[in-house]
Amino acid sequence: MKELQKNRKNAKTAELKQMRLGLKIGANDLEIKLRKIREFLSDGHKVKILVVFRGREMAHQDLGYVMIDKIVSLLEADAILEQKPQMAGRNLSIVVRSK
């Protein structure tokens, strides 16, 4: 029984971190966000990546999917896609976890 309590105390719970980005994010800003995502993944957390649409951007949801594909390809070395891209209101989200 004591052993189980010790194991539970030492076990790290994988948190679901969240990273929000707009559709018109710049290349350097995206790099910084990706660096932070890689940091979360190396700590053993899952990361939910949200692409937020504002106003008329909703008419161009295809650009959001293109951006998600770009992010997934940039994170290919560090992460596995756990949840396919899905629209929920004005947000397009995916969940990634470390390899």
Residue 35: which CATH number? 3.30.110.10
Number of domains in the chain: 1
- 17/3: higher pLDDT: 17
The answer to the question of residue 2 being in a domain is: no
pLDDT digits (tens, 9 = 90+) for 53-83: 999 999 999 999 999 999 999 999 999 999 9
Q: Burial of 53 by CB count in 10 Å (0-12 exposed, 13-18 middle, 19+ buried)?
A: buried
The answer to the question of residue 8 being in a domain is: no
The answer to the question of residue 4 being in a domain is: no
- 3/66: higher pLDDT: 66
Q: Which two tokens stand for residue 14?
A: 């994988």
Residue 11 binned pLDDT confidence (cut-offs 50, 70, 90): low
Q: Which two tokens stand for residue 7?
A: 């194991």
Q: Is the pLDDT of residue 2 over 80?
A: no
The answer to the question of residue 7 being in a domain is: no
Domain that holds residue 42: 15-98
